[in-house]
Amino acid sequence: MAHHLVDSDETALTALRAAGLRVTAPRRAVLVWLAKHPHSTVDAISAGVREVLGTVSTQAVYDVLRICTATGLLRQIEPAGHPARFECRVGDNHHHVVCRRCQRTEDVDCAVAAQPCLEPPDDRRFVVDEAEVVFWGLCQDCVPAGQLADVYPPQGEIRQ
Amino acid sequence: MAHHLVDSDETALTALRAAGLRVTAPRRAVLVWLAKHPHSTVDAISAGVREVLGTVSTQAVYDVLRICTATGLLRQIEPAGHPARFECRVGDNHHHVVCRRCQRTEDVDCAVAAQPCLEPPDDRRFVVDEAEVVFWGLCQDCVPAGQLADVYPPQGEIRQ
DNA sequence: GCCGTGTCTTGACTCATTCCAGAATATGCG
DNA sequence: CGCATATTCTGGAATGAGTCAAGACACGGC
């Protein structure tokens, strides 16, 4: 239950301690940044953290993200064909919508009843531990017709 | 509705024509190979096609896969952190289970009621056109306890 | 306050995939 | 059948995301 939701530098510190991890500047900065900018890519996180700390190696950011994901402080989502994104884990089982055009990513509560998508496949040959759901589409900024051309080329014209 | 399901060299030819694409040896070979080996990676497809045709450039395989995916003859799936896989598209809305260990990938019919996961998110800010669902877990070959150690390290021991 | 071990820095490196360009080839329309 | 054009080939090189390795550094238990 206590999923140590991070929302400040202090809670980041607490969350790290609770997870049995050392408290370091890069770790705190990454957690705080992600609390304020969910669904960030590694690039964005690195840039954001550097604004605060000055210099932080890319490797350090990857290390922080890996260890925090492994201990459950963060959740990693990897939309097909796009670089990984991270968010503070809330313990609930929400999904994501990703805009095909601008890659804006937002949370979606699990629709319908509670966790219909976690229903494990019928056959028992697989032991499922996670259901990853990504809704693809267009965000409101990208919907206007003029912007659709290169994403959804008129089907009849694909002829090479 | 005819989604021109490919299952032989002849149907591959028909499907290509129907899609308005030229019929070439690499294209036919790729489609036939995928009909018999769904969820193949580019590497596997290249190897398989070369068994049949002798030499085929990697570039050609990528080209074929791209154009066929664009025209709807093939479907591309990209399990997070793994190279892309392709399958003949059947038009239905099935999902996939992927083994965390050996990456075995198999089809899963959309569980529960028909397409619960296609239910678009409540808010109208996104226009959803596809729901991508990947179930992560372990296949029967990888379930035995001895093989779990490096994938699911005992939580308490992650302490660096 | 010290020291051992965990973490960060630096820089080279892997891997999948894309791009490029010119030459060779093959498809399918007329 | 013949031609215009799409496709493929060779192969080289670039990209982007992420990893590895060795040494420097710092957190926190003592």
**What are B42-51's pLDDT values in tens digits?**
999 999 999 8
Residues of A in contact with B82 (CB under 8 A): none
Q: Is the CB of A6 under 7 A from strand C?
A: no
Q: Give chain A's end-to-end CA distance (angstroms, integer).
A: 56
Contact A148, B141 (CB under 8 A): no
Classified by CATH at the fold level, domain A9-77 comes out as: Arc Repressor Mutant, subunit A (1.10.10)
B156 pLDDT higher than 70? no
Contact B95, B77 (CB under 8 A): no
A152 pLDDT higher than 50? no
Q: DSSP letter string over A27-49? A: HHHHHHHHHHSTTEEHHHHHHHH
- Model's pTM, two decimal places? 0.77
Q: What is the pLDDT of residue A159?
A: 30
Residue A18 Cα distances to A23, A42, A71, B115, angstroms: 10, 24, 10, 40
Please tell me if residue A10 touches chain B, with a CB cutoff of 8 Å.
no
Residues of A in contact with B125 (CB under 8 A): 106, 139-140
Q: Chain B interface, mutation test: which of A24, A42, A126, A143, most B Cβ atoms within 10 Å?
A: A126
Q: Give chain B's end-to-end CA distance (angstroms, integer).
A: 55
Q: Chain A interface, mutation test: which of B135, B139, B151, most A Cβ atoms within 10 Å?
A: B135
> Between residues 99 and 138 of chain A, which touch chain B (CB distance below 8 Å)?
99, 106, 108-109, 111-112, 116-117, 119-122, 125-138
Please tell me if residue A97 touches chain B, with a CB cutoff of 8 Å.
yes
Q: What is the pLDDT of residue A1?
A: 40
Tell me the nearest-neighbour CA distance from B44 into chain A, angstroms. 19
A28 pLDDT higher than 90? yes
A24 pLDDT higher than 90? yes
Classified by CATH at the fold level, domain B92-157 comes out as: Dna Ligase; domain 1 (3.30.1490)
Q: In this predicted model, what pLDDT tens digit does every residue of B57-103 receive, in sequence order? A: 899 899 999 988 888 888 888 887 788 999 886 666 677 887 777 77
Give domain limits for chain B: 9-77, 92-157
Is B133 in Cβ contact with A131 (below 8 Å)?
yes
H or E segment at A106?
strand A105-108
Q: What is the pLDDT of residue B158?
A: 27
Q: Is the CB of B58 under 7 A from strand C?
A: yes
Q: What is the mean pLDDT of residues A61-87?
A: 91
Contact B46, A137 (CB under 8 A): no
